[in-house]
Structure formats: structure tokens, C-alpha cells
Amino acid sequence: MIHLQDITKVYPMGKRELTVLRGINLYIEQGELVAIMGPSGSGKTTVLNLIGCLDKPTSGSYYLEDREVSRLSSSELAQVRAQKVGFVFQTFNLLPRLSALANVELGMRYSGGSNHNMAMAALDRVGLSDRANHRPTELSGGEQQRVAIARALAKNPPIILADEPTGNLDSHSGEEIISILTTLHSEQGITLVMVTHDSNIAHRCQRIIHLKDGQVVAEEKL
């Protein structure tokens, strides 16, 4: 499903270069639930962005569903994102001017067009169908993140990538979010990759990948 082969990522920093990833090899099966852990600056988010086709590696190969995508044009990468990947961010990243429903519809907009009924169904799955017309500012943090999950879900992507989805939430809301995500995984067989600091959350996944200084240092199967 997801196969990273000797991936490196170097960012130009003025005249110097910042090497973030130094040869990552990673294989994630379809339907797996994987946590990526590691200290700040270890390259967790960069790996997630590469998996989500938001960014291109400096060298190495990335096969997504057996297709080499690391050399695609930005427009082709956008197509891959639209069809294959749903993102859940730490800071929710909802559009503040749009209602919860409109935000969910936006998630389908670039992958074949928005559909009111499907958007409502996605909101229903995260338990927010009664708040469809509220704006993000009228919702709690946990509710906003549920809208964000509904947005990621609405287009039925095979992969959901979550970057510290509970990082901005209290423990109660965080627990809610994690149970929604794990339920989605177990019920729908979605491949779920989650970056987290929290080892309690990580231990609810099937596998934990530990990163340090841009390299995979350990893997735990649970």
C-alpha cells in the first residue's frame, strides 16, 4: 500500500541545507493502523507529508498502491491527494467562514464534486449531524476535530493521515477522537497513519514506528 524506499529530504535554509530525513524505509499494509512517534525535529511530520503527497522527497522512491508517485508533477500529486488521502491536522484547519457541512463538502470538492447527502452522512458518522449549520467558531475543539475527520472521510479515501490529532484537545475530547478514528479503521478497513507524542494513544495502534534524527530507529508490533 505505502512503500517508502530510501527516502531523504533536504530543505534549503538560505545558503546551508537542512537534512530532515536520512534514508527512510517503510512499508505499511493496506488496512493497517500505524503510529509514528519520535522527539521534536525527528522528521515525523515530514514523513507524513511525504506519504500524503503534500511534499516530494529529495531522493528515494515512494510507491503508493504500487505506483511510483515521488516524481509526479504538482498537479498529478494534487489528484493523488484528492483521490487517495484524507488529512486530519493538529490545528483542525477548517475554513472559519463556512458551516460544518460546507467544510465537509469542501473535502469532496476536488475529488469529483460535493454531494450534500454524502457530506451529511459523514457528519453523522462523527455524531455531528445536528450541528451541520454551525460555524467552526461555534463548536468546541473536539467538535471541530470531528468535523475535520468528517471532511477527510467524506470522499471515502483509502488512507487517512492524522498529524497529532489530539494535540490541541483536552484528554476527554482526545479520547473521543481516538475512538472515532480507531472505529473507522476497524469498521471500514481504512489505512490510518497517525503522528503522536502520546504513548497511550500510540499503544492503541497495531504498530509503532519510532523516528529519531530522520531515521527509523525502532519498530514495535503490538
Partner 1 sequence: MKRWFEPLSTAWVGVLTHKLRSFLTMLGIVIGVAAVITLMSVGKGVETDIISSIQTLGSDLLFIFPGAVTEAGIKGAVGGATTLTQEDAAAISEQVPYTAAVAPSYSTSLQLVVGAQNMRAQVTGVTPEYQQAYNLQTIDGAFISEYDSERGAKVVVLGSNVKETLFEGADPIGQQMRMGNNIVRVIGILESKGTSIRGSTDDAILIPLTALQQMVAQPRTSQGERVVSSIVLTVSDQEQASYVVDEITAVLRSRHQLGPGIDDDFSITSIEEIVSTLSEAVGTMTLLLGAIAAISLLVGGIGVMNIMLVSVLERTREIGIRKALGARERDIWGQFLIEAVFLTFAGGIIGVILGWVAALVVNNMGLMTTVVTADIVILAVSVSVGIGLFFGFYPAWNASRLNPIDALRSE
Closest separation between CB of residue 82 and partner 1, Å? Answer: 2
- Residue 75 sits in the site that holds partner 1 (CB under 8 A): yes
- The angle formed by the CA atoms of residues 171, 222 and 47, to the nearest 5 degrees, is 70
What interhelical angle do 100-109 and 141-153 show, nearest 10? 30
CB 145 within 8 A of CB 173: yes
Site for partner 1, residues 153 to 212, rule: CB under 8 A: none
Query: Out of 42, 49, 145, 191, which residue is the one contacting partner 1 (CB under 8 A)?
Result: 49
Closest separation between CB of residue 77 and partner 1, Å? Answer: 9
Closest separation between CB of residue 16 and partner 1, Å? Answer: 18
# residues contacting partner 1 (CB under 8 A): 27
Nearest residue (CB) to partner 1, 71 versus 97:
97
Nearest residue (CB) to partner 1, 120 versus 202:
120
Site for partner 1, residues 104 to 163, rule: CB under 8 A: 106-107, 109-111, 113-114, 151
- Residue 82 sits in the site that holds partner 1 (CB under 8 A): yes
Nearest residue (CB) to partner 1, 85 versus 202:
85
Nearest residue (CB) to partner 1, 49 versus 166:
49
Closest separation between CB of residue 152 and partner 1, Å? Answer: 9
CA 209/CA 185 separation, integer angstroms: 18
Angstrom distances, CA of residue 100 to CA of 46, 55, 81, 87: 28, 28, 21, 16
Nearest residue (CB) to partner 1, 49 versus 70:
49
CB 149 within 8 A of CB 181: yes
Instruction: Report the 10 Å Cβ neighbour count for 222.
Output: 11
Binding site for partner 1 (CB under 8 A): 49, 52, 54-55, 74-75, 78-79, 81-83, 85, 87, 89, 93-95, 97-98, 106-107, 109-111, 113-114, 151
